[in-house]
Structure 1
Amino acid sequence: MHKFLIVKVGGTFADYAAERGDFEDWTVRGMSLAESEWETVNPQNGANLPDPAGFAGAVITGSHDMVTDGTPWITDTAAWVRRAVDAGLPLLGICFGHQLMADALGGKADYHPDGVEIGTANITRTRASEEDPLFRDLPEVFPGHVTHSQTALKLPQGATLLATGSHDPHQSFRVGESAWGVQFHPEFDAPAIHEYISRREADLAASGRDVAAIRATVRDTPQSASLLKLFANYCRTR
């Protein structure tokens, strides 16, 4: 059985990672992977991305960077996404990964015109999601943790919109049979999103946001978290 690849395009705050692990750790825990079942590559630090054909599936993590930064590692990772999709490698892009996939495959990522989305949002499945192997058994509306300034403003041509939200109309999409993007964070738990709200509290308050109201949205998100295991199982059984 091939391993899973975690494409680490960013990490959480260094001190928080020292306490609770980093994005790749949260992701593989959610996927219920044994240590022998996965490996990670960090293109942000200059590592070369491997041949997509050698893996069961790949997850592209979130990042504190922005897709529109256009740095060489972002351009290289976007090119790898196109190769992976052409090769039929199952992909799951989370937040930055979702935006990068949309941009790389012909859509457009940029800053959301209504600003930051943060807290726990209601994610609403579309009619098309009823035929999707990851989303079809989820509730019609379910909670997902969100923290992002950029978004997939435009989806790639031919993409299937799977989920929407009141702030972000493109909460999830699929390209082809097995390349998914999710704007929300299935790997976050409630303590993690509380941490992100606290870290951004001053900026949120300065921009006129009601931080207490944002905190009040936070709740557990078992349905969105289940997508990680659903993706792993899909990759194993396809």
Structure 2
Amino acid sequence: MQEDRTMQQSSAPDCRARVVVLKTGSTYPGLLARFGDFEDWFLRGLSPELDITVINVEAGERPGNPEDWNGIVVTGSPAMVSDRDEWSENTGAWLARAAAAGVPVLGVCYGHQLLAHALGGEVGYHPDGRETGTHEVELLPEAGTDPLFRDLPARFPAQLTHRQSVLRLPPDAVLLGRNRFEPHQAFRIGSCTWGVQFHPEFTDTVMRAYLEVQAPDLAREGLDAQALIAGVQASPDASSLLPRFSRLVIERVR
């Protein structure tokens, strides 16, 4: 069942840009109770001027045709792209159609990896394990003329938590961002399909809560959970991608 988060009360035509958020999973139960789920975090960051619908693709919901939407956002997930679950493979094929049709797409974390996989790249476990916490992202010169990334500083903090990565970019992908741990923090395909490994929807409070839940696993992996928690900071430049993507979609519809 599709869930229309805009809850329109009027029968008058709605001329706002239509954006679908593809929900690919859920957060930890304790965080869900405190902060809501992945889609809620995106809804807080995307423009209220958009007409937004959430489709739970992990649960088997279908988003219709890519051309039905003016913009597409793909959430993160605890699932692994390399498992190639049926819902994930179907969503990847749908995203490849969206990219070919020129519909603006923003894939985040799992969505970033799924886009890369669907468009001919390679996704798998990072050889050095997990990246989590607040870490710096470095933009490459190509980001200076990118419609989504231009005007951002060359380096900025971002919230990250992932074990899988884009190991090889798709053909013709433009690399936009990286850091010392993750060489593929952001890329673009064509004029308006973007993937970002970092989480623009995370607040610093959410990031700290993630690290607190992950602490036992981090200790087993040789990571210092308390140092990572102490290192969390706000990431307004990374978070600005959601209103930036919103404006891009709105301007294309006008």
2:134 equivalent in structure 1: 120
- Name the structure 2 match of 1:230: 244
Offset from partner CA, 1:52-92 (integer Å, 9 cap, x none)? 11111010000010001111101100110111111111000
Task: Note if 1:199 corresponds to 2:213.
Answer: yes
| 1:11 lines up with 2:18 in the alignment | no
Name the CA distance, whole Å, in 1 between partners of 2:251 and 2:65.
Answer: 21
Residue 109 of structure 1 is matched in structure 2 by: 123
Is 2:42 aligned against 1:27? yes
Q: Number of residues paired by the alignment?
A: 237
The reply to whether residue 46 of structure 1 matches residue 60 of structure 2 is yes
Moved over 2 A (4+): none
Instruction: Give the aligned partner of residue 149 of structure 2.
Output: 135
Distance between the aligned counterparts of 1:80 and 1:17, measured in 2? 28
Separation in 1, partners of 2:189, 2:128: 26
1:159-215 Cα deviation digits (max 9, x unpaired)? 000000111010000000000000000000011111111111011111211122212
Q: Percent identity?
A: 43
Q: How many Å apart are 1:136 and its aligned residue? A: 1.1
For residues 240 and 104 of structure 2, the distance between their equivalents in structure 1, rounded to whole angstroms, comes to 17
Q: Which position in structure 1 is the counterpart of 2:228?
A: 214
**Unaligned runs of at least 5 residues, structure 1:** none
- Over the aligned positions, Cα root-mean-square deviation in angstroms equals 1.1
Rounded Cα–Cα distance in structure 2 between residues aligned with 1:59 and 1:169: 22
What SS does the aligned partner of 1:45 have?
coil
Structure 2 residue identity aligned to 1:16: L
CA contact (8 A) 2:72 2:104 kept: yes
Instruction: Report the TM-score, using the length of structure 1 for normalisation.
Output: 0.97
8 Å CA contact retained: 1:49, 1:77 = no
**Structure-to-structure mapping, 1:46-65, within 5 angstroms:** 46-65=60-79
Aligned counterpart, 1:184: 198
TM-score, normalization by structure 2: 0.91
From the two aligned structures, give the one with the greater helix fraction.
Answer: 1
